[in-house]
């Protein structure tokens, strides 16, 4: 790719003339019609990239690699320790599967602009489904497999799909999750009824089909003809991905086709430093934005081999699962969440399982999804012997806001920082009145508009809510709802969500800074800090500690040491006096710690079981531990 080669040059070029910068990057994409304008700013803050252009995302991700002579290259590796299966698909094989599924959808009446809900486990057919929708110009909305029926119903009602693609079941290490009953219940709850449901029958557990609504996947696809790619406008939606909101209604983040393709291809080479033909593994789920961007679209757009993993970081079968996958498939770059890394570290604190695997292919580990504590980062770096890059992005942005860009001239990685702003993102730190604050001063992290290509074009059927949530608080900026600071060299430190900054006797303190101190304790595998009401100080912090596997020390002793460490590192002003040892932290299925719910429990406030929680029993354990600790 032509253009600047150093970080400084790239950043200056993207900031100085963003239209020229992204027009140059867009030359790597195949367009069926060129754009009239690179940036349409006529409806700010809802900017549109590559207005007037047409393309097809599936063609760029699959067909063009076949047409360029790389049809025999491996595009997708499906690795499933829960079913003991490994399957490889070349680009030519992937195109055949996707084109035929697109034909099946077309036979059911799915056309350009229609919506399709995908409610599936981590199986190749889920990837085929996303690409098949893109091939038709239809809009897919992937809902995390096994999501609660009422949450699935809310998403069905919001995006009103013509067809739902699903499977009979998902496979967990110790159980089978039946998807079809959940889908049936969701459809009973939903006001909108799709025309058809196409069900992939897995051999582990078949499902009863309700004719004529339900169709067998294999039968439906077998009688379909392969479907060609349909060109769509660059500004047409590619997908709607729902993320949790402050209201009861889920937020449907909308991603366009053109800017998305340009940004993700650019990111693969410049942020992740991977070239076509190399092997990239995002150890995530297609139900989350990481799965959309870096299991499916980013690697395939760049001509990489991507790994689809149906397993866990621990328990399938042990804490060496990730390293086995890296060795078996010669993965060059691995991307996962800090929570996965901490789970591995907790089960294998001395990294004994790492040494059993040949990891010479691995050259970089990327972390994102929540703040990475420096202790875990150093553990991975020291034991893997490769750079570990913490980078920061959101469902709304679709790709990294900050990073250490490995494809540009490499800047040093700074522990505790999520890197520097990626070219295209102009990150500022603002006070409550919207004024920029000096270096090393905490504030609200915001991005000066316009956002670069690949970021969200808005919320599905909710323009006013989008404006109020993201753009009105600081006019001219996108509000990230994260808090942090920039140092004198421009490195960004993301410390907490803005609602995780607590006020202790008038002092605004970051819970992330406290968690960093607690995570440094040698016996602590994971931790979380949230604010608890106090009549005198307004709020005081409370810490929750998960200990390393095999730790036999007295819990009271460890808690006392943790309290002392906060006093030493943060100071008495933190008023940190309570640290509770718990078995696990409550998390969403994507690995984010449910600090808001923990805070409500700590304050004895009403709370409801989140639909996204991975194990409901954990919150009852947290509540019991708090009651045992004394009055609140």
Q: Are 584 and 544 in contact (CB under 8 A)?
A: no
The crossing angle, in degrees rounded to 10, of helices 7-16 and 18-26 is 110
- Residues across the chain: 632
| pLDDT value for 506 | 58
Q: Give residue-wise pLDDT tens across range 330-352.
A: 999 999 998 899 889 999 999 99
With a CB cutoff of 8 Å and minimum separation 6, the contacts of 97 are: 89, 124, 128
Report the alpha-carbon distance of residue 523 to residue 512 in Å, rounded. Answer: 19
pLDDT in tens, 418-444: 999 999 999 999 998 999 999 999 999
Residue 295 to residue 38: CA distance in whole angstroms:
27
* Tokens standing for residue 62: 């699959």
Number of structural domains (the chain) is 1
Q: Label residue 630 by pLDDT band (50, 70, 90).
A: low
Q: What is the CATH number of the domain that holds 582?
A: 3.30.300.30
The set of residues, in sequence order, having a beta carbon less than 8 Å from that of 617 and lying 6+ positions away, is none
Residue 505 confidence (pLDDT): 65
200 in Cβ contact with 217 (< 8 Å): yes
Please give, one letter per residue, the 3-state secondary structure of 12-50.
HHHHHCHHHHHHHHHCCCCCCECCCEEEECCCCCCCEEE
Residue 540 inside a domain? The answer is: yes
Q: Comparing 124 with 599, which gets the higher pLDDT?
A: 124
The helix/strand/coil state of 472 is coil
Band (3; pLDDT cuts 50, 70, 90) = very low
- Whether 334 maps to a domain, the answer reads no
Report pLDDT for 511.
85
- Would you say residue 517 lies in a domain? yes
The backbone torsions φ and ψ at residue 77, rounded to the nearest 5 degrees and listed phi first, read -115, 120
Please tell me the predicted confidence (pLDDT) of residue 246: 45
Which pLDDT belongs to residue 573?
A: 78
**What's the pTM?**
0.86
Residue 101 lies in a domain: no
Structure tokens at 381: 């770096």
pLDDT-derived band at 631, boundaries 50, 70, 90 = low
List, as own/partner pairs, every contact residues 205-212 make where C-beta atoms lie below 8 angstroms and the sequence separation is at least 24, other chains included.
205/168, 205/169, 205/176, 205/178, 206/168, 207/168, 207/169, 207/178, 207/179, 207/180, 207/181, 208/180, 210/184
| Inside any domain, residue 547 | yes
The mean pLDDT of 226-242, rounded to a whole number, is 98
Q: Determine, yes or no, domain membership for 118.
A: no
Q: Strands 196-200, 214-216: parallel, antiparallel or unpaired by DSSP?
A: parallel
Quick one: pLDDT band at residue 604, thresholds 50, 70, 90? confident
Asked whether the predicted pLDDT for residue 508 surpasses 80, the reply is no
* Burial class, 72, CB count within 10 angstroms (exposed 0-12 / middle 13-18 / buried 19+): exposed
Strands 524-534 and 115-119: what pairing? unpaired
Structural domain for 552, as ranges: 505-629
pLDDT the model gives residue 250: 77
C-beta separation of 255 from 81 below 8 A: no
509 lies in a domain?
Answer: yes
In a domain, 574, yes or no: yes
Find how far residue 128's CA is from the centre of its chain: 20
């Amino acid at each position: 790719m032509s253009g600047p080669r150093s970080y400084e040059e790239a950043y200056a070029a993207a900031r100085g003339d963003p239209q020229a910068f992204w027009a140059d990057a867009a030359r790597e994409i195949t367009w069926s019609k060129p754009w009239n304008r690179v940036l349409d700013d006529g409806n700010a803050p809802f900017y549109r990239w590559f207005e007037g252009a047409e393309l097809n995302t599936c063609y760029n991700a699959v067909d063009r690699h076949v047409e360029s002579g790389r049809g025999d290259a491996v595009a997708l590796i499906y690795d499933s320790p829960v079913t003991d299966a490994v399957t490889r698909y070349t680009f030519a094989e992937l195109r055949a599967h996707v084109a035929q599924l697109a034909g099946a959808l077309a036979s059911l009446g799915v056309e350009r602009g229609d919506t399709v809900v995908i409610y599936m486990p981590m199986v190749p057919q889920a990837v085929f489904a996303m690409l098949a929708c893109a091939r038709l110009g239809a809009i897919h909305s992937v809902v995390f497999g096994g999501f609660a029926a009422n949450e699935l119903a809310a998403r069905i009602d919001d995006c009103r799909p013509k067809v739902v693609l699903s499977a009979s079941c998902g496979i967990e290490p110790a159980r089978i999750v039946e998807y079809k009953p959940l889908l049936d219940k969701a459809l009973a709850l939903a006001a909108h009824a799709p025309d058809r449901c196409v069900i992939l029958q897995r051999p582990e557990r078949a499902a009863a089909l309700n004719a004529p609504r339900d169709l067998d996947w294999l039968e439906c696809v077998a009688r379909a003809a392969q479907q060609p790619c349909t060109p769509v406008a660059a500004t047409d939606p590619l997908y709607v991905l729902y993320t949790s909101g402050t209201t009861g209604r889920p937020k449907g983040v909308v991603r366009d086709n053109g800017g998305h393709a340009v940004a993700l291809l650019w990111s693969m080479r410049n942020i992740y430093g991977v070239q076509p033909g190399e092997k990239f593994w995002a150890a995530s789920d297609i139900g989350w934005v990481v799965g959309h961007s870096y299991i499916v679209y980013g690697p395939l757009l760049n001509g990489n081999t991507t790994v689809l993993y149906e397993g866990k970081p621990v328990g399938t079968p042990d804490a060496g699962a990730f390293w086995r996958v890296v060795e078996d498939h010669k993965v060059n770059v691995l991307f996962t969440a800090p929570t996965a890394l901490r789970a591995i570290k907790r089960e294998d604190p001395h990294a004994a399982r790492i040494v059993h695997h040949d990891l010479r292919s691995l050259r970089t580990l990327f972390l994102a999804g929540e703040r990475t504590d420096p202790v875990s980062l150093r553990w991975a770096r020291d034991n893997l012997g490769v750079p570990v890059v913490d980078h920061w992005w959101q469902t709304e942005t679709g790709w990294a806001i900050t990073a250490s860009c490995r494809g540009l001239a490499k800047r040093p990685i700074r522990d505790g920082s999520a890197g520097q702003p990626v070219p295209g993102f102009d990150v500022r730190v603002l006070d409550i009145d919207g004024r920029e604050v000096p270096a090393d001063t905490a504030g609200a992290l915001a991005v000066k508009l316009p956002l670069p290509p690949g970021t969200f074009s808005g919320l599905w059927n909710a323009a006013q809510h989008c404006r109020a949530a993201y753009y009105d608080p600081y006019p001219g900026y996108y509000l990230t709802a994260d808090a942090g600071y920039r140092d004198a060299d421009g490195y960004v430190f993301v410390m907490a969500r803005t609602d995780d900054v607590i006020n202790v006797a008038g002092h605004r303190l970051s819970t992330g800074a406290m968690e960093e101190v607690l995570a440094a304790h040698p016996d602590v595998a994971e931790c979380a800090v949230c604010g608890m009401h106090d009549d005198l100080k307004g709020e005081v912090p409370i810490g929750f500690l998960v200990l390393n596997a095999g730790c036999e020390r007295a819990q009271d002793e460890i808690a006392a040491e943790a309290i002392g460490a906060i006093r030493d590192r943060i100071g008495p002003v933190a008023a940190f006096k309570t640290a509770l040892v718990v078995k696990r932290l409550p998390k969403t299925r994507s690995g984010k710690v449910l600090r808001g719910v923990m805070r409500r429990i700590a304050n004895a406030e009403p709370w409801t079981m989140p639909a996204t929680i991975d194990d409901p029993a954990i919150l009852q354990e947290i509540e019991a531990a708090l009651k045992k600790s004394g009055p609140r």
